[in-house]
Chains A and B, each alone.
Chain A
Amino acid sequence: MVDDVINEVNAKIRSYTNEHVTEWKNSGRPVIGYFCHYMPAELILAAGALPLRLRGAGSEDSSAGDAFMSGRVCTYVRHVMSLAVEGDYDFLDGEICLNTCDHVRRAADLFVKKTNIPFHGFISLPRNPRESLYGNLLKELRNLRVALQDHFGVEITDDRLREAIIALNRNRRLLTEINNMRKEDKPKLSGAESLSVHIASQVLPPDVFAGIAERLIKELKDRPGLDSPRGRLVMLGAELDEPDYVAVIESQGALVVADLLCFGQRSVLDPIDENTDDPLDAIGRAYFFRPSCARMIGDFPARWDNLNRIVSDARADGVIFTRLLFCDPWGAEQHNLLHRAKKGNTFPVLTLTKEYGIVPTGQLRTRVQAFLEKIEIARAKRDAVGGAV
């Protein structure tokens, strides 16, 4: 049953860690945490370590993080850092931060100064995905490769990198297959279920995830599709790793049939060349030139085109944009998205601001209901015009 697999997945993502992480560690292998999906997980895997996407799940309050970061930093980072400064992430053998945003930058400072994690890596990721800046990133990846080798006493050979590419490509293909099933007229799984699965792909050992995903795909094939009487939606935004939040949206009669969320579909790259002579370069290029996120400057037109493609491909009726309070990169995205949507009179957009770890059910339901009504009215008008013609 699909429900059984999803329940199993949900049990594994309930907290910031899971039993497979413990098993991995118990087998004497290191675990390395990272914040952002621009971090090439292949490099960690090729060092013999488990890449674990940092989450605040299970953190009940952010006061320890607040004490260092104030209440003006995004709650995702504050929850992660609460866990970290309280020692909950001390099981990590290393962490790697990027200059994703100001918040993660400051988290990097705290990891170094206020945790017992032994290895600290950092990547300065250029803010604009153009060819002339790519060399700067490649240098960073080379430096990180050396730092990981030195610290963990392993040689990260090209063959090991290719093996890591193969392992993660397998999961990318599986996730793509799952995402394709969401686009059907009667989607095979909900947006909330899909988000759970994507989160699992970032916190489980790759082969464990692959096993689950294969079982899920088999079960999904027999599942009758789901109804979405009030509309098909695309969700867009940053670090949302709470399937319950998506479930509240869907409880109003719509389905999220595609998404561009950091923990969701956006984390899935196209497969990387497995036979390349220079795997580090192939990895670097795949990550750097992927469909960008809001922290990349000068790339909004490409993001807009990508969103339009996804909306039309998924035959969606509207877009829900979520932003975490205090996030500037996604603040600009909100402005630009509304500006384009208004100018081009394209799809309806609902913008939501949220705090990590809180699902404000009442308020969220009301706003989604109003949005769906708007979509229904627009559809009715369109149908009426179509009828007259």
Chain B
Amino acid sequence: MTVDEMVGKPEWRSILESLPVIKRFFEGDPDSHGINALMRGMSIYLEKLVDNLERENPAVWYNLGFNSELIYALDGGAAALPIEALGVMHNLLGDIKISMDFIDTAQAEGVPSDCCSADKLAIGTLHRGLYPKPACTVGINTPCDSQVMATQVMAEMSDAPFFVVDVPYYHNDETVRQVAAQLEELIPFLEENTGRRIDFDRLREVCELSNKMTENIWEWLEWRKNTPLAQSSKLVAFTLILQILFAGTQEGVDITEGLKREALERTERGERFFEERVRAVWYQDPVWTDMQMYDWFEHELGLTVPIDVFGYYANEGLIDTSTRETMIYGLARKIANCHPMARQFRSNIDVYIRDFMHMLESWNADCCIFAGHIACKHAWGGIGLFKEACRRADVPLLVFEFDMFDPRITSYDDVYFEVDRFVNEIVYPRKLRAGKAG
């Protein structure tokens, strides 16, 4: 695909045209360092993609359980393309009708309607030929069966060499070692198929940038523990996107600096335009189709979301950059133990529940909102045990069904209704009774 061909496609043009406008819009609020940095980061990502196309650099496709560092360490450059990227961008920045079209395309091509819309977005874009042909593809089995589906279709549609990273079931060091061994296999695969070499000095720089981003995320999330929450709820979900798209880049560092700085400044100023009445851990998928919904929760209900499962980045150590082996091990640990969703969703239910309890306590939340993305079967499959755990811990829990990328499944009104009722009839009165409300 040439740059002209790419820009000629309405699905890309719409993003390339809307992003500068949105960027300017947010720049109107100079205090919004986080969102401004994110918009700048997105622009740079797109510029780099165009640049890679112009230079005819190889592209590597992968799915959302994978981190981008190794691809960024290929000397001479390569385009890192998570296959969900364009669909998600349309949800966040572009035209949601286009992302719904991707979903419909995938279904028309045989993807069952009960599968995850994240994958349908990706598969729709593949069927429309929206990405440059890859030199090779990397598929990882995390976080879920749905990703297994996406990778199988990616392999089929790409017609390019395919490497599978298999993250075992267990949450232990043996798992990390097994993933590291596979990354050692992946390196020659990437080198052979892209015609580029992994430059280990470059990998060290990439890992250092990745570490800096991680440290920023940790610090940023610390600021979000403050009560009341000073920074907008909706920003928290971006950790996952950061890891997939920006891990190992200066943009990743800049975005997280922005998020951290914004949280810090707002907390120190203590200004908020609403009263925080209730804090929730949003324990499942964000409402990507309408991130403004979180603003409504704040302003109308006094509900804040200091942390969610996409936003949480487990504090399990940084990549040790001293040797090639320690770097590979560190990258494997990120993939298996830290990557949002992949950490919580691939193993047994105890890991899932333990992380929730940790978030609840550390971010000082009053309740849990289980926003049940309909296709997230491992989450639904554990719902009974999760409810029991919440009951034992005496945590109010709201469970509802929706689709994180497809508003046709549950209307916004229904989501508002559920959350409104939960906050006003259950959680807030309970806080009042316990003398914990403001």
Contact = CB atoms under 8 A, between A and B. Distances in A.
A271 interface: no
Contacts of A103: 145, 377-378, 381
B168 A136 contact: yes
| Residue among A110, A136, A294, A335 with max Cβ neighbours from chain B (10 Å) | A335
Interface stretch (A2-10, A32-40, A305-313, A322-330): A322-330
Contacts of B350: 109
A333 B110 CA distance: 9
A124 interface: yes
A20 B306 CA distance: 57
A295 interface: yes
Interface string A102-125: 110111111001000000001010
Nearest to B141: A127
Interface in A49-81: 67-70, 72-74, 77
Contacts of A101: 145
Nearest to B181: A132
A113 B178 CA distance: 28
A176 interface: no
A300 interface: yes
Interface stretch (B25-33, B146-154, B280-288): B146-154
Given A72-B374, A102-B144, A102-B381, A331 B169 contact: no
A334 interface: yes
A329 B110 contact: no
Interface string A286-325: 0000000011011010000000000000000000000101
Given A73-B380, A332-B148, A298 B139 contact: yes
Interface string B149-166: 111110111000011101
B153 A297 contact: no
Interface in A252-284: none
A128 interface: yes
Given A300-B152, A332-B149, A68 B385 contact: yes
Contacts of A124: 168-170
Contacts of A335: 106, 109-111, 123, 149, 152-153, 156
Nearest to A67: B384
A103 B380 CA distance: 9
Contact of A72 (B111, B153, B380): B380
Interface stretch (B10-18, B112-120, B206-214, B261-269): B112-120
Nearest to A326: B114
Identify the interface centre among B146, B151, B157, B378: most chain A CB within 10 Å of its CB: B378
Nearest to B353: A109
Contacts of B380: 69-70, 72-73
A330 to B, nearest CB: 9
B112 A353 contact: yes
B349 A329 contact: no
A300 B157 CA distance: 12
A379 interface: no
Contacts of A74: 377
A126 interface: yes
B181 to A, nearest CB: 7
Interface residues of A, number: 50
Contact of A73 (B110, B141, B153, B381): B381
Contacts of A338: 109-110
Contact of B114 (A110, A133, A136, A325): A325
B168 A334 contact: no
A109 B384 CA distance: 11
Contacts of A107: 381
B323 interface: no
Contacts of A294: 152
B213 to A, nearest CB: 28
A99 B169 contact: yes
A339 interface: yes
A351 interface: yes
Interface string B318-343: 00000000000000000000000000
B123 A297 contact: no
Given A72-B377, A331-B149, A128 B383 contact: no
Contacts of A328: 115-116, 144-146, 148-149, 375, 377
B149 A113 contact: no
B381 A332 contact: no
B192 interface: no
A267 to B, nearest CB: 21
Interface in B367-390: 372, 374-378, 380-385
B348 interface: yes
A183 B109 CA distance: 32
B414 interface: no
A102 to B, nearest CB: 4
Contacts of A326: 114, 377
B173 interface: no
B334 to A, nearest CB: 19
B418 interface: no
Contact of A109 (B152, B182, B382): B382
A107 B374 CA distance: 18
A289 to B, nearest CB: 15
**Most chain B Cβ neighbours within 10 Å, of A99, A113, A332, A340:** A332
A251 interface: no
B285 to A, nearest CB: 13
Contact of A106 (B112, B114, B170, B381): B381
Contacts of A334: 110-112
Which of A109, A297, A300, A338 counts the most chain B CB atoms within 10 A?
A: A297
11 contacts: A72-B114, A73-B381, A105-B348, A106-B378, A108-B348, A109-B382, A298-B151, A298-B155, A298-B164, A329-B145, A351-B110
Interface of A: 67-70, 72-74, 77, 99, 101-103, 105-110, 113, 122, 124, 126-128, 130, 132-133, 136, 294-295, 297-298, 300, 323, 325-326, 328-329, 331-340, 351, 353
- Shortest 3 CB-CB distances between A and B: which pairs? A68-B384, A106-B381, A102-B378
